[in-house]
Amino acid sequence: MRKVMLTSLMLAGGLVSSGLSMAEAPGNAAPMPVEMQQMMKTYTPALRQKVMALSPELKGTIQQLHAGHTRHAKETTLRQVMQEILSEYQSIASALATDNAEQAAEAARRLANHRIPKGGLLPYFPLDKINNTDLAVLPAMNEIVEGSALKLATAADAGDMPRAASYMSDIMTGCVACHQKFRTTPGVSANLMTPLSK
């Protein structure tokens, strides 16, 4: 069983955290971090309502996840950020295959510190997944993706390419797990008569 650590972040909005300054969220006794309140102003009422209903623990977790990423997109969507992440993953693979430790380490660190899309992650999830149970898995998914990428970078720095390579499957396991839970089928056509089997 992997140890879950709340180090990385995938959930942020375009805001660098200045800590856990709290304020009361209207309609909910749970305190709401100020940064989240700012981000929520850009959300539709339906999404805002879902986010406000999250537990104080989860709000804190989301806030912590926000605080770790230093790069924040102005207009980029999650799907575009995901394409960037895929590019970094492919760059790591290329670097490992060519024994280029520096390229591997740098691409892995960029992957771990990927940009945060406009509005954070939540607006791009299906609305019915914005609840305490489903979102509780996020720290574990971040840890396996971003934590493994950072371990890969450390191994590459040390010149241990076999060890670096071994983290590739851990990273992809995290990509797949998160997609299973939060991603709908990519590129579904509204012009097909037969529904997809998935």
**Given the rule CB under 6 A, which residues bind ligand HEC?**
10, 78-79, 82-83, 85-86, 89, 124-125, 138, 141, 145, 171, 174-175, 178-179, 182-183, 186
Q: Cβ 40 to ligand HEC, closest distance in Å?
A: 19
Q: Cβ 81 to ligand HEC, closest distance in Å?
A: 8
Of 25 and 108, the one with the shorter C-beta distance to ligand HEC is 108
Sign (positive or negative) of CA dihedral 67, 122, 136, 188 = negative
DSSP assignment string, 100-119? -HHHHHHHHHHHHTPPBPTT
Q: From CA 82, how far away is CA 71, in angstroms rounded? A: 14
Of 36 and 81, the one with the shorter C-beta distance to ligand HEC is 81
Half-sphere exposure in the Cβ direction for 95 (13 Å, CA)? 25
Of 155 and 171, the one with the shorter C-beta distance to ligand HEC is 171
Of 40 and 145, the one with the shorter C-beta distance to ligand HEC is 145
Q: Cβ 82 to ligand HEC, closest distance in Å?
A: 3
Q: Cβ 29 to ligand HEC, closest distance in Å?
A: 28
Structure tokens at 36: 């989240």
Q: From CA 17, how far away is CA 83, in angstroms rounded? A: 25
Q: From CA 98, how far away is CA 64, in angstroms rounded? A: 36
Q: Cβ 141 to ligand HEC, closest distance in Å?
A: 5
Is residue 171 within 8 Å of residue 149, measured between CB atoms? yes
Q: From CA 137, how far away is CA 129, in angstroms rounded? A: 11
Of 157 and 170, the one with the shorter C-beta distance to ligand HEC is 170
The amino acid that residue 19 corresponds to is G
